[in-house]
Amino acid sequence: MGTDIKIARNQGTFRELMNAFARPGSLAAITPSSEGLLMDVLDVLLDHEVSFCVLGKNKESMEPEITAVTGSRTADTGSADFVIFAAGDTGDELYKVKRGSLEYPDKGATVIYYGAVLDENKKIADHSFKGPGIAAGTGFTAPGIPEGELKKLSEINSEYPLGVDTVIISENNILCIPRSSKIGVVK
């Protein structure tokens, strides 16, 4: 039985994504397709049933491309299911992202940062983690994601179970921060 390459790739990418969500702070190494890792991840998650928006300088070029590949529709920041930022300071836009309701916290958006740098070999982490799925002493380093950005994420997720779930994507690695994770700073 031969398996289609795209189906197999999507399944493999999802499993890495699932493991990364189950173990926040751990890096999932994924060999990207020619489309790049961001598009691989979007192809796993997006379809016509969900909406997305891209914020930043690449909005005009990326949104039509993502719609063409996934069939997903665009929406404004406050109502999109997936909000895609270039790694860096997002200003106040992050505060507009929907956080779900107490009855349906799963309606909170998934925030995706692309173009980050995730260094597997850097031994000293800048940020500490606590919460479900996290081994004691787990930390992570994500150059390109400013300190203030992580503080904003902590603030947005402070009223758990309301909040957003975050995926940070580098060239060939993924790191996930579900809303259940508490981010600290390693002094």
Partner 1 sequence: MNSAAEKIDGKNGYNFAFLDENAKKEIRRRILKAISIPGYQVPFGSRELPIARGWGTGGLQITLSIIGKSDILKVIDQGCDDSVNAVNIRRFIKSVTGVEMTTDTERATLVQTRHRIPEKPLTKDQVIIFQVPFPEPLRTVEPSEAETRRMHAEADYSRMWLYLYEDIVKCGEISIGARYPVFVNNRYIMDPSPIPRWDIEKLNNSECLNLFCAGREKRIYAIPPRTSVKPLEFEDFRFRIEDFKGNKCEKCGSANSYLDETIDEAAGTRHYYCSDADYCEKNLNNAVRK
Write out the residues near partner 1 by the rule CB under 8 A: 1-4, 6-8, 10-12, 14-15, 17-19, 21-23, 44-50, 101-103, 105-106, 110, 131-135, 160-161, 165, 178-180
Considering the complex, state which of residue 22 and residue 185 has its C-beta at the smaller distance from partner 1.
Answer: 22
Least distance from partner 1 to the Cβ atom of residue 46, Å: 8
Least distance from partner 1 to the Cβ atom of residue 136, Å: 9
* Residue indicated by tokens 């909040």: 163
Least distance from partner 1 to the Cβ atom of residue 63, Å: 19
Considering the complex, state which of residue 89 and residue 130 has its C-beta at the smaller distance from partner 1.
Answer: 130
Cβ atoms < 10 Å from Cβ of 154: 16
Token representation of residue 178: 């579900």
Walk across the sheet containing 139-140 and list its strands.
139-140, 127-130, 182-185
DSSP-assigned states of every residue in 118-149: --TT--S-SEEEESTT--TT-EE--TTS-HHH
Token representation of residue 10: 């999507």
Considering the complex, state which of residue 40 and residue 165 has its C-beta at the smaller distance from partner 1.
Answer: 165
